[in-house]
Amino acid sequence: MKKRFLLFSISLVLISVIITSLISINVNIKNYISEKETSLLTCCNLINMVILEELENGGKIDYKMATKFFSEQMDIRLTFVDKEGNVIFDSSQGQRSANMENHLNREEIREALLTGEGRSSRKSSTLDAEYLYVAKSLEYSGETVLITRMALEINKLKIINDFLVTTSLISSLVGILAAIVIAIAYANILMKPINEMEEQLKATMKENKKAERIRKDFVSNVTHELKTPLTSISGFVETLQDGAAEDPEIRTKFLDIIAIEAARLKRLIEDILIISDIENKREVNTDSDINVRESIEEILDSLGPVIEAKKVKIVTHYAYEIYIGGNNDRFKQLLMNLIENAIKYSHDGGTVTVSAVKKEGKVYISVSDEGIGIPREHMPRLFERFYRVDKSRSQKAGGTGLGLAIVKHIAALFEAEIQVESEQGKGSTFTVIFKG
Among ligand ATP, Mg ion, none, residue 394 binds (CB under 5-8 Å by kind): ligand ATP
For ligand ATP, which is the closer residue by CB, 373 or 436?
373
CB of 399 to Mg ion, least distance (A): 5
The interface partner of residue 428, options being ligand ATP, Mg ion, none and the CB cut-off 5 to 8 Å by kind, is ligand ATP
The site map against Mg ion for 325-344 (x = CB under 5 A) is ----------------x---
Residue 400 binds: one of ligand ATP, Mg ion, none (C-beta under 5 to 8 A by kind): ligand ATP
Is 403 one of the binding residues for Mg ion (CB under 5 A)?
yes
Minimal CB distance residue for ligand ATP: 403
Least distance (Å) from ligand ATP to the CB of residue 193?
Answer: 42
Q: Given the complex with Mg ion, which of 138 and 365 has the nearer CB atom? A: 365
**Separation between Cα atoms, residue 119 and residue 403, nearest integer Å:** 105
Residues 337-396 within binding reach of ligand ATP (CB under 6 A):
337, 341-342, 345, 369, 371-374, 382, 387-390, 394
Q: By CB neighbour count within 10 A (0-12 exposed, 13-18 middle, 19+ buried), where does 136 fall?
A: buried
CA 177, chain centre distance (Å)? 24
C-beta closer to ligand ATP: residue 67 or 337: 337
Q: Which helix (H) or strand (E) holds 358?
A: strand 351-359
- 8 A C-beta contact, residue 312 and residue 343: yes
DSSP secondary structure, 297-326, as one string: HHHHHHTHHHHHHHT-EEEEEESS--EEEE
Position 399 contacts ligand ATP (CB under 6 A): yes
**Minimum Å distance from CB 420 to ligand ATP?**
9
Cα separation, 149 vs 110, whole angstroms: 11
Stretch of 17-25, 114-122, 302-310, 403-411 contacting ligand ATP, by CB under 6 A: 403-411
Q: Is the Cβ–Cβ distance between 147 and 138 less than 8 Å?
A: yes
Q: Which of 112, 172, 170, 193 has the alpha carbon at shortest distance from 146?
A: 112
Residue 85 or 373: which CB sits closer to Mg ion?
A: 373
Residues 177-216 touching ligand ATP, rule: CB under 6 A, are none
Size of the site for ligand ATP (CB under 6 A): 23
Interaction of residue 428 with Mg ion, rule CB under 5 A: no
Give kind and range of the element (H or E) at residue 434. Answer: strand 427-434
Q: How many residues belong to the site for Mg ion (CB under 5 A)?
A: 2
Contact 340, 332 (CB under 8 A): no
Per CB under 6 A, does 333 bind ligand ATP? no
**Minimum distance, C-beta of residue 224 to ligand ATP, in the bound complex (Å):** 14
Which residue from 45, 73, 76 is spatially nearest to 146, judged by alpha carbons? 45
Residue 76 interacts, among Mg ion, ligand ATP, none and using kind-specific CB cut-offs from 5 to 8 Å, with none
431: nearest Cα among 305, 348, 317, 274? 317
Cα separation of 365 and 338, whole Å?
A: 11
Query: Rounded to whole angstroms, how far apart are CA atoms 341 and 320?
Result: 25
Count of all residues that appear for the chain in the document: 436
> Hey, what amino acid is at 7?
L
State the minimum distance, in angstroms, from the CB of residue 380 to ligand ATP.
12
- Are the CB atoms for 402 and 268 separated by under 8 Å? yes
Q: Decide whether 326 or 350 has the Cβ nearer to ligand ATP.
A: 350
Contact between 400 and Mg ion per CB under 5 A: no
Q: Which does 368 bind (CB under 5 to 8 A by kind): Mg ion, ligand ATP, none?
A: none
Angle ∠(248,253,257) on CA atoms, nearest 5: 145
Binding-site partner at residue 118 among Mg ion, ligand ATP, none, CB < 5 to 8 Å by type: none
Q: With CB cut-offs between 5 and 8 Å by kind, which of Mg ion, ligand ATP, none does residue 183 bind?
A: none
Q: What is the DSSP string of 124-153?
A: -SSSSSEEEEEEEEEEETTEEEEEEEEEEE
Taking the C-alpha atoms of residue 342 and residue 336, their distance in angstroms, rounded to an integer, is 10
Which 104-163 residues touch ligand ATP, going by CB under 6 A? none
Choose the one of ligand ATP, Mg ion, none that binds residue 388, judging by a C-beta under 5 to 8 angstroms depending on kind: ligand ATP
Chain residues in the site for Mg ion (CB under 5 A)? 341, 403
Chain residues in the site for ligand ATP (CB under 6 A)? 337, 341-342, 345, 369, 371-374, 382, 387-390, 394, 399-405, 428
